[in-house]
Amino acid sequence: MARIFSILLLFIALTSFGQDEEVEFKTIFNGNNQSSGGYGAPELKVGPVNGETSLFVGGRGSCIKGNKFVLGGTGYRLVSNNTYLEGPADKPIGVGADSTRTIDIGMGYGGLLLEYILFPKSAVHLSFPLIIGAGGSTLNAKKYQDDSNLNPNEWALYDYVESSGFFLLEPGINVELNMAKFFRLSAGANYRYISGTNLQRLSDNDLSGVNFNITFKFGGF
């Protein structure tokens, strides 16, 4: 899936390079004719983490060259309450088989943003972002319940479970609206491809998935 998105991004960039742009920069409400600029953008992403619908909050800061080519940076953090239900094989030595607990999942990532904007002077157009970066996931445990074999004073020893870094590749496609000279509204989908995590309880696939995003871009376009 990630490879397909990447190939599509490269294909669009190559086939669209050199095409003539419209003389007039069009927005929903008025116009502009600026060849370069930049923007800052808060962003929301919704997608799966360990099979649960999850919310990421973050943003991006970018510069634009020739209205088409974007170079910038991004960062996102998981803010929803995602959990992992611990099984018997995950429990430390000395913990009773009947004891139960859930583990909170923490996750964040960021990296380099590359983006190609197709027909940027049109009021409604497409963009093809690609994030290349890294991140990390941490598992933090809640206390055991109904466990007669573990001293309650020892619960704190198991608050921290494990953590791992990972490599990230996130290609996507967005529909953008030029709302005004300083504001663009963008919505679309991307695929969060995670590789290299060494968590015992979660795999790369558990942290990967399709996201739906909405972005509010403020700046000079």
Decide if pLDDT at 1 tops 60.
Answer: no
Mean pLDDT confidence for 135-161: 65
Flag whether 120 is in a domain. yes
CB 172 within 8 A of CB 188: yes
Which residues, other chains included, contact 123 with Cβ-Cβ below 8 Å and sequence gap of 6+? 26, 27, 28, 177, 178
Flag whether 61 is in a domain. yes
For residue 59, the domain's CATH number is: 2.40.160.20
pLDDT of residue 12: 44
Q: Which domain holds residue 128?
A: 2-11+23-220
* Least confident range of 43-47, 144-148, 164-168, 209-213: 144-148
Q: HSE on the CB side for 156, CA within 13 Å?
A: 1
- CA dist 162 and 149 (Å) reads 23
CB 159 within 8 A of CB 185: no
* Least confident range of 57-61, 98-102, 123-127: 98-102
Mean pLDDT for the chain overall: 82
Flag whether 17 is in a domain. no
Q: Assign residue 18 a region: left if phi > 0, alpha if psi is -120 to 50, beta otherwise?
A: left
